Structure 1
Amino acid sequence: MGTPAPVTVHDMTVELDYGQFTLSGTSEGDSDLSMLGREAQIGPCIASDDHTVLVCVPHQNNFDMALRVEVWAEPPPRDFGQWEEIFECALEVDGGELSYGSPTMGSRGCEVPDGRYGVRICGRGFVNRGWPGSTRPGDVWRVQLWPTRRNLPDRRIRAWRPPEQGAAPVLPIAQA
């Protein structure tokens, strides 16, 4: 038996602004993004309804962000050690497309078969919370989808913590 691999992979470059992005599985646009945004901000930085998930991220923006979308036949391996931010939720795709969007940046879609999915969203390469010091800070994201019948709760598995500014190194206590 070989190493598990995704059935389909979509690599794209997208734009992120306002420290958040959405993934939508419907073209009808009936999700209340302001409500999802409030829920994500006061909760685990993720909120979803049946067709849209909103994720709050460490960087304020990245106008040249690598995004990989993987569709799996079964739950993908947990490679959590490679990622600084990790979220999970469930999402329904209806219309054959998963759409990525961020405020004022428009959207990008990729082909995903209709169905109910478990979703794992992972990010890495963060340099600062909020303004990253550049509009191209280098963070990358991956979205993995796999068929499920369960309604997975919105949850944050790992949260990136910025390095402490000006923290002095811990030195050993001298022995008298």
Structure 2
Amino acid sequence: MTQPTVTTDLDVEINHGQVYIYAQAPWADDPSNNAVLRALDDARQSGRFVGVADALVDLVTPVQWNFQAPMRIEIWSLEPPADDDAWDQVVDVDLDVPNGRLWFEGSGGREPIPCDVPAGTYRARVSGRGYTEAADGAEGLDSYRLRLWPRDDEASPALRKSWPGWQNLT
């Protein structure tokens, strides 16, 4: 199949250069859970700038604030075809959605934005673009995509493409 089975477009909030993606907040049952800090550490230390901790994905961006950042969510029946050249940053991670809803939350306690997706055990491809323009001071030109497809086994996060501008920002 060369097309997603489901596509949803929404605006997410980037706050302090981050947006959290999760099916269930790790801190819901344990307010002392520091998954956001561990995911941020993972994002930076790995050089992926997409970190994972306790089923929380932390998408780190060079954009400090964009409260209407376009995010496309695509559900695929198989791994989607690669189009990494169209994006600045591309990372694959595992992302499980047992309850059929994803949440997108800007760092710093922003109101989470829901998105209904079919419940499942997924591999996710997180992509971002407009990074160079944002680093040069342009506002509102960044956009993001989250592609989900079923997975059978767990896999480590994988950096598919790295935006070279990270070295100037870190």
Q: TM-score, normalised by structure 2?
A: 0.83
Q: Which amino acid aligns with 1:69?
A: I
Written as runs of structure 1 = structure 2, the 5 A alignment for 1:1-176 is 4-26=2-24, 29=28, 32-43=35-46, 44-49=48-53, 51-104=55-108, 105-126=110-131, 127-129=133-135, 133=137, 136-162=139-165
Distance 2:54 2:2 in 1: 28
Mapped contact 1:17–1:61 kept (Cα < 8 A) = yes
Task: Give per-residue Cα distances to partners, 1:91-118, cap 9 Å, x unaligned.
Answer: 1112110111111332111111222100
The alignment's C-alpha RMSD in Å is: 2.1
- Whole-Å separation in 1 of the counterparts to 2:164 and 2:53: 27
Please give the per-residue CA displacement for 1:102-141, whole angstroms capped at 9, x wherever unaligned.
Answer: 1133211111122210000111112244xx635x331010
C-alpha change, 1:27 and 1:114, in structure 2 (3 Å) is farther
Structure 2 counterpart SS, 1:16: strand
Q: Find the aligned partners of 1:71 and 1:154 in 2 and give their Cα distance.
A: 19
May I ask how many residue pairs the two structures share in their alignment?
158
Q: Which has the higher helix share?
A: 2
Shift of 1:49: 3.5
**SS of residue in 1 equivalent to 2:42:** helix
Contact 2:70 2:144 in 1 (8 A): yes
- TM-score, normalised to structure 1, is 0.80
Which consecutive unaligned segments of at least 5 residues does structure 1 have? 166-176
1:74-95 superposed Cα distances (whole Å, 9 cap, x missing partner) = 1111011111110110011121
One-letter identity of the residue aligned with 1:45: F
